[in-house]
Structure 1
Amino acid sequence: MVSITDIPSESEADSISPYVCATSRKLHDAADRALNYYLNPVPVKTQIIPGSIFTIAPDINNETLLAHASESLESARVMAGDFVGVLEGSHRKTMLALQQIIMLGQLAVNRVLDNTGVSENA
């Protein structure tokens, strides 16, 4: 049991330092930094666009974006054409329509590339 005589007076409590030496203070500061790092992490500020997990680097120019879009549409058109060969009936007609829509999108992108003077293989 603690008696009143075991409790230091206010003047004695103020004179007691938790740091015995300079090394002790450095260790205490390091422990504080480690605890703050793990227990109070700094939140990372990122701009989140709802419904989108993929982004394109903001410094990519329009011509490069259009060239990649054209190549992606070409790949999608070829894949749709491959599926047309194995499908029958209404599924085949649906895939043919999808292939045509992809081709029209590719034609539009290629026209923009032509208008900007950049070849589609740039």
Structure 2
Amino acid sequence: MIKPTPNPPQRLFTVANGISTEDLLVNLSETLASANALSCDLAFNLESSKREELLGVAQLIELAQLLADRVHTGFGPATTAA
């Protein structure tokens, strides 16, 4: 039997309340570093366009890592580009 509407998404993971912002950012940073290492390791076992695609994903992960690190270390008041 085919249902007319799909099941709503199920929440598999949650973040516990009471964790400091700094701890959350550290965990985020470590998770991104792990994802980057995994994607790079996998990419180097591929060839051609699939390798390039996965290296592109690794680059996006690295960008997210840089953003998370900037938030974590703080960089003073926001400035606007001239």
Distance 2:70 2:14 in 1: 25
Number of paired residues? Answer: 67
Distance 2:35 2:44 in 1: 15
Amino acid of the residue matched to residue 23 of structure 2? T
Normalised TM-score (structure 1)? 0.52
> What residue in structure 2 maps to residue 30 of structure 1?
none
Matched-pair identity in % = 39
> What residue in structure 1 maps to residue 29 of structure 2?
70
Question: Based on CA coordinates, which of the two structures has the bigger radius of gyration?
Answer: 1
> Is residue 56 of structure 1 aligned with residue 56 of structure 2?
no
Distance 1:96 1:102 in 2: 10
Normalised TM-score (structure 2)? 0.76
Question: 5+ unaligned residues in a row in structure 1: which ranges?
Answer: 1-49, 117-122
Distance 2:32 2:48 in 1: 25
Deviation (angstroms), 1:106: 0.4
Deviation (angstroms), 1:63: 0.7
Per the alignment, in what secondary structure is the counterpart of residue 112 of structure 1? Answer: helix
What whole-Å deviation, never above 9, does each CA across 1:42-91 have from its counterpart, x for those lacking one? xxxxxxxx531211111001110000000000011011110111100110
Distance 1:102 1:51 in 2: 25
Distance 2:42 2:14 in 1: 29
Per the alignment, in what secondary structure is the counterpart of residue 90 of structure 1? Answer: helix
- 4+ runs deviating over 4 angstroms: none
Question: 5+ unaligned residues in a row in structure 2: which ranges?
Answer: 1-8, 76-82
Higher helix share: 1
